[in-house]
Amino acid sequence: MREVYGIQRMQFNEKDHSVRVLFDASRLNEDSVASLLRQAGLDLKEKLILA
């Protein structure tokens, strides 16, 4: 995923079983990022909104 244009940063938290993805919304949308994560082998359960 690091080679995908528009993905700026990924942060994994094993303790919380979470991944945080910073992406350029002018190039990608949430559905395309979720699809990329699934293709990378991650099993997505839920989306967390950070305020």
Query: In the numeric block, which tokens belong to residue 6?
Result: 């528009």
Task: Confirm whether 2 is domain-assigned.
Answer: no
DSSP H helices in the chain: 30-39
For residue 25, what pLDDT band results from cuts at 50, 70 and 90? very high
On whether residue 44 sits in a domain, the answer given is: no
Residue whose entry in the numeric block shows the structure tokens 């949430």: 30
Nearest 5°: the CA angle 16, 22, 26 is 150
Query: Three-class SS of residue 24?
Result: coil
**Containing domain of residue 13, as a range?**
7-39
Q: What count of other Cβ atoms lies within 10 Å of the Cβ of residue 30? A: 11
Number of domains present in the structure of the chain: 1
pLDDT exceeds cutoff 90 at 2? no
Considering Cα of 37, then 12, then 6, then 2, what sign does the dihedral take?
negative
pLDDT average, residue stretch 18-42: 93
Mean pLDDT over all residues of the chain?
90
Is the full-model pTM beyond 0.85? no
